[in-house]
Amino acid sequence: MAEEFSLVHQVDGPVLIIRTKGYLNDLGAEQVDTICSENLGKGIKKIVINLEQSPLINSIGISILIGVIEAIEEAGGALAFTNLTPTNRKTFEMMGLLQFAQAFDAEADAVKTYQTS
Amino acid sequence: MADERQAPDQSFQEQVLRYEYVLKALSDIGEELCRVTSFEAQLKSLLHLLLGTLGVSKGGIFLFDTMTSELSLRCSWKLSSRKAGTSLSRGEIEALEKIADPITFAAADFPFLKDLISQFAADDLNSISILKVREKLIGLLVVGQKLKRAPFSDKETSFLTTLSRNISVAINNFLLLSELRETNKRLDEKIQEVSILYQATQMIASELQLKTLLDMAMNATSEISEVTRGSIWLYDEESEKFALSSHLGDSANLPEHLPLADSKLGHHLLEHKEPLIKTTGGTSEIPVNELDSTIFGTSFIIVPIVHQGEFLGLMHLSEKITQGEFTERDQRLIKVFAVQLGAAVKNAKLYEQAITDGMTHLYLHRYFKQRLSDEFKRAVRFKRNLALIMIDIDHFKKLNDTYGHQSGDEVLKRVASIMRKAVRTHDLPVRYGGEEFALVLPETDMTGALAVAERIRRSIEFEIIEHNGKTIRITASFGVAVHPDSAIETEALIKAADVALYHSKESGRNRVTPAAVLPTTDNPPPPATPAD
C-alpha cells in the first residue's frame, strides 16, 4: 500500500526543520529539494531532516538527498538526518551520505546542536 | 589474526549490501513499469532510481525519435541545461546502433556527438551510456559525479551498464505500449467513423423524395461534423443557378437562388469538383467573393455533390458546435458521405422526373393514384382525416382558342406555381390531366381543406398573367371531399370531389364546393334536392 509522500517544514532560528511522511521513493520527494534550495537562498544553511515517518527509502529518495547534500556543501552549510531506521542508516553509510551529513537519534538533539554551534 | 579475518568479512558484507541495493533498484524499475502514470513521470522515476543507485547528484536521459532522427533531452535532474538536442546523421545512428560492448563510456572518452556533450561542460559529467534494445537506438544516458568527485569503481561502472540496459528495455516497452494505445485509439476512431457513415448512408440510400432526402442529408452531416449551420444547393444547368434546397440553422443570409455568375466559389467548385476547406485564420487560395462570404461564412467545408462526373450541387457546413476549426477528419467523412449523397440525389431526381409533369413540375396522374391509395390506407388505419381538392380552370378551352396554346401553357404553369406555394411538405399537388388539377392533403379536415381551396381560388383570381403583350385573367372551380366525412374508399373520395367540382361549375364557377356528407346514424341523409 503506497502511502503518498508529504512533508511539513519550519524554520527555528537559524535551522530549517523538515519532517517527511511516507515513502521517500515518490517523486513528491522532490519537494525536499525545493524547500532546501529556497531556504539556502534565504541564508538558512543548517538543515535537519527528520525521517521518522519515512521508514522506507529507496534509490529515488537517495538521489534526492544527494542533491540536497551537494547544494548544502556548495553553500557551506550543515545537514543532519534524524530518526533513521537501522536499515536506512546502513544504506546512507554505504552510499556515503553520512560522510557529509550527521546522523542524530532525535530531532531535538540535532536542532540543539545547530542552534548553539 | 582475528583482525585480518574481520576486514575481508566486513568488506564482503558491505558488498552484499551494495548488491542488495542494486537488486532493489532493478526490481523498482520493474515495478515502475507497472505503474499507471505518464511517460514523463516514468522517465523521471527511472532517472532518479539510477542516480540514487550510483550515488550521483545529477543526470539526464536523451531519447531518440526514429521518425525525425532527433536526439533530445527528455528528462534531467540538476543539469545546467534542461533543453538540448541534435539531429543525428545516418552514419551517427548506425555507429551508435552497432556498438555492442561497452555501452558505457567515461564522459571525456565518449567518441560521438561532441557538440551535444560539450553543452554540458559545466556539469562535469562522469559517464555516458548508450541506451538501446538489441540493435535499436533508444537514447543516451548522461550521469554526473559522485559526491566529492569520488571515482566510479569498476563495479559501479558495471552497475551503470546493467541499469542502462534495464532502463532501455523499460523505455522501449513503454514506447511500444504507447504506440499500441495510439493505434487502438485510431482504430476505435475509424470504427466510429465507419459506423456514423454507415448509419447516415443507410438513412439516405432508400429515400426517393428529393426534399426529404436533402433534409435528411443535412441532418446527418450536422451529426457527422457537429455543425450548427449548413446548406445544400442543387445546381440547375439550364438556368446556371444554384437553388437553396435544404438548410440547417439560421437562413437569414441565404437567398433562394445563387446565380453561378455571382459566385466565384461556385465556379471553382463546378470546375474542380473537389472539396474545399477554409479555416478562419488560414491563408487559403480558395476564391471567395463577398456574396460567397455572406452565404458560406469565413470558416467552412464545401463539398461538391457529384454523380458519375455530373455536377449536381454542393453541400456547405459551417460553425462547429465546439467553436473549433474543421479538421481533416471532417473533410474525409463529408467527402465519403457526399459520394453516397451524389448517387441518392441522382436517383431521387430521376424518380422525380418519372413521376412529375415536365411542364408544371406537378405530380402525374399515375403517381397521384398510388399515393392517394397509400394515404387513404394510412388515414383509415390511424383514423385520420384525408382531404382531396379537385381544381378545374374555368373556360380553359375558350382561353386556348382566344390566346393560343402557348398562353394556355403559361396559364397552366402559373396555376401550378400557385398550388406549389400553397402546400405543406407532405401535401401532394397533382396535374390530374388537361386543365384539371388535384391536391391531396393528409391529416386535414373539411374546414382546413376548404380554407386551403379558398386561398388558392383567390390567388388564381387575382393573378395577372402577361403573355405576348396580352393581359390574361383567369378563375378556377373547386370541389373538396374529405375522408371519412365524404367517402370511405379511394375511388369514392375522387368521385365525391368530382361531384362537388361539378356543382361549382354548375353554380357559376370560380367557387369552392364541399362534397356532401355521408349519411350516418348521427347524420341522416339529406333531402333529395341537389346542392346549390
**Residue A15 in domain:** yes
Residue among B17, B57, B61, B145 with most chain A CBs within 10 A, to mutate: B57
Residue position matching grid coordinates 547528484? B57
CATH 3.30.450.40 range(s) for chain B read 23-178, 210-355
Contact B52 A64 (CB under 8 A): yes
> Of the ranges B222-226, B265-269, B353-357, B476-480, which one carries the lowest mean pLDDT score?
B222-226
Chain B nearest CA to A35, separation (Å): 15
Q: Which of the four pLDDT bands, split at 50, 70 and 90, describes residue B513?
A: very high
Q: Which of the four pLDDT bands, split at 50, 70 and 90, describes residue B523?
A: low
Q: Which of the four pLDDT bands, split at 50, 70 and 90, describes residue B1?
A: very low
Which CATH code, of 3.30.360.10, 3.30.70.270, 3.30.565.10, 3.90.1150.10, is assigned to B365-514? Answer: 3.30.70.270
Chain A residues whose beta carbon lies within 8 Å of the beta carbon of residue B167: none
Tell me which H or E stretch contains B442.
Answer: strand B436-442
Nearby residues of B191 by Cβ (< 8 Å), 6 or more positions away: none
> Of the ranges B131-140, B352-361, B373-382, B473-482, which one carries the lowest mean pLDDT score?
B352-361
Contact B48 A64 (CB under 8 A): yes
Best CA proximity match to A96, nearest among B405, B88, B449, B146:
B146
Cα–Cα dist B56/B296, whole Å: 63
Q: Which residues pair with B317 in a beta bridge?
A: B230, B301
Q: Residue A95: which CATH number? A: 3.30.750.24
When pLDDT is averaged across residues B142-166 and rounded to a whole number, the result is 89
Return the number of other C-beta atoms located less than 10 Å from residue B24's C-beta.
15
Shortest CB distance from A27 goes to which of B44, B52, B148? B44
The total number of structural domains that make up chain A: 1
**Given this model, what pLDDT does residue B530 score?**
46
**Given this model, what pLDDT does residue B116 score?**
92
Contact A63 B49 (CB under 8 A): yes
Chain B residues whose beta carbon lies within 8 Å of the beta carbon of residue A94: 14, 17-18, 21
- Digit-coded pLDDT (tens) for B30-53: 787 777 677 888 888 889 989 999
Chain B nearest CA to A17, separation (Å): 22
CA atoms within 13 A on the CB side of A66: 33
Chain B residues whose beta carbon lies within 8 Å of the beta carbon of residue A60: 28, 45, 48-49, 52
Contact B45 A60 (CB under 8 A): yes
**Given this model, what pLDDT does residue B209 score?**
83
Chain B nearest CA to A63, separation (Å): 4
Q: How far apart are the first and last CA of chain B?
A: 144
CA B279 to chain centre: 16
- Cis omega (within 30 of 0) for bond into B102: yes
Contact A66 B51 (CB under 8 A): yes
Contact A59 B49 (CB under 8 A): yes
CATH 3.30.70.270 range(s) for chain B read 365-514
**Given this model, what pLDDT does residue B413 score?**
93
Nearby residues of B250 by Cβ (< 8 Å), 6 or more positions away: B229
In a 10 Å sphere around its CB, with 0-12 CB exposed, 13-18 middle and 19+ buried, how is residue B389 labelled?
buried
Shortest CB distance from B14 goes to which of A61, A70, A94? A94
Cα–Cα dist B302/B331, whole Å: 9
Q: Which of the four pLDDT bands, split at 50, 70 and 90, describes residue B442?
A: very high
Range picked from B102-111, B143-152, B379-388 for highest mean pLDDT = B379-388
**Residue A42 in domain:** yes
Chain A nearest CA to B49, separation (Å): 5
**Given this model, what pLDDT does residue B526 score?**
58
Residue with the larger pLDDT of the pair B494 and A58: B494
For residue B467, pLDDT over 80 is answered with yes
**Residue A1 in domain:** no
**Given this model, what pLDDT does residue A16 score?**
95
Q: Which of the four pLDDT bands, split at 50, 70 and 90, describes residue B5?
A: low
Cα–Cα dist B124/B101, whole Å: 24
Q: Which of the four pLDDT bands, split at 50, 70 and 90, describes residue B527?
A: low
Residue with the larger pLDDT of the pair A81 and B334: A81
Cα–Cα dist B63/B99, whole Å: 17
Q: Which residues of B are catalytic?
A: 435
> Of the ranges A10-24, A66-80, B318-332, which one carries the lowest mean pLDDT score?
B318-332
Nearby residues of B396 by Cβ (< 8 Å), 6 or more positions away: B408, B411, B434, B435
Cα–Cα dist B352/B340, whole Å: 18
Chain A residues whose beta carbon lies within 8 Å of the beta carbon of residue B56: 63, 66
Cα–Cα dist B97/B132, whole Å: 7
**Residue A45 in domain:** yes
When pLDDT is averaged across residues B320-343 and rounded to a whole number, the result is 84
Identity of the amino acid at B214: L
Residue with the larger pLDDT of the pair B204 and B461: B461
When pLDDT is averaged across residues B274-283 and rounded to a whole number, the result is 77
**Given this model, what pLDDT does residue B300 score?**
87
Tell me which H or E stretch contains B310.
Answer: strand B310-320
**Given this model, what pLDDT does residue B47 score?**
92
Query: Among all residues of chain A, which has the CA nearest to that of B19?
Result: A94
When pLDDT is averaged across residues B3-14 and rounded to a whole number, the result is 68
Chain A residues whose beta carbon lies within 8 Å of the beta carbon of residue B21: 59, 91, 94-95
Shortest CB distance from B45 goes to which of A27, A94, A95? A27
Contact A59 B50 (CB under 8 A): yes
For residue B249, pLDDT over 90 is answered with no
Cα–Cα dist B92/B205, whole Å: 57
**Residue A106 in domain:** yes
Cα–Cα dist B372/B293, whole Å: 44
Tell me which H or E stretch contains A116.
Answer: helix A107-116
Shortest CB distance from A96 goes to which of B21, B49, B55? B55
For residue B236, pLDDT over 60 is answered with yes
| Backbone phi, psi, residue B246, to 5° | -165, 150
When pLDDT is averaged across residues B446-457 and rounded to a whole number, the result is 96
Homologous superfamily, domain B210-355: GAF domain (3.30.450.40)
For residue B170, pLDDT over 80 is answered with yes
Query: Among all residues of chain A, which has the CA nearest to that of B79?
Result: A67
Q: Which of the four pLDDT bands, split at 50, 70 and 90, describes residue B107?
A: very high
When pLDDT is averaged across residues B413-437 and rounded to a whole number, the result is 91
**Given this model, what pLDDT does residue B20 score?**
86
C-beta of residue A29 within 8 angstroms of C-beta of residue A61: yes
Q: Which residues pair with B458 in a beta bridge?
A: none
Chain A residues whose beta carbon lies within 8 Å of the beta carbon of residue B17: 90-91, 94
Residue with the larger pLDDT of the pair B507 and B426: B507
DSSP string for B221-237:
HHHHHTEEEEEEEEEET
The C-alpha angle with vertex B155 and arms to B151 and B161, in degrees rounded to 5, equals 95
**Residue A2 in domain:** no
For residue B454, pLDDT over 50 is answered with yes
The total number of residues written for chain B in this structure:
532
Could you tell me where the beta strands, DSSP code E, fall in B249-321?
257-259, 276-278, 300-307, 310-320
Output the average pLDDT for chain B.
88
Q: Which of the four pLDDT bands, split at 50, 70 and 90, describes residue B283?
A: low
DSSP 8-state secondary structure symbol assigned to residue B254: -
- SS3 (DSSP) at B76: strand
Contact A59 B25 (CB under 8 A): yes
**Residue A53 in domain:** yes
Q: Does domain B23-178 have CATH number 3.30.450.40?
A: yes
Tell me which H or E stretch contains B178.
Answer: helix B154-205
- Digit-coded pLDDT (tens) for A70-115: 999 999 999 999 999 999 999 999 898 999 999 999 999 999 999 8
Cα–Cα dist A75/B517, whole Å: 109
Which whole-number Å values give the CA distances from B365 to A38, B291, B439, B502, in the listed order? Answer: 92, 41, 11, 19
Cα–Cα dist A49/A52, whole Å: 9
Answer positive or negative: Cα dihedral of B465, B466, B467, B473: positive
CA B94 to chain centre: 46
Chain A nearest CA to B147, separation (Å): 7
Give residue A27's domain range: 7-116
How many CB pairs below 8 Å do chains A and B form together? 74
Contact B21 A94 (CB under 8 A): yes
Q: Which of the four pLDDT bands, split at 50, 70 and 90, describes residue B333?
A: confident
Best CA proximity match to B78, nearest among B128, B152, B29, B142:
B142
Q: Which of the four pLDDT bands, split at 50, 70 and 90, describes residue A1?
A: very low
For residue B4, pLDDT over 70 is answered with no
Chain A residues whose beta carbon lies within 8 Å of the beta carbon of residue B75: none
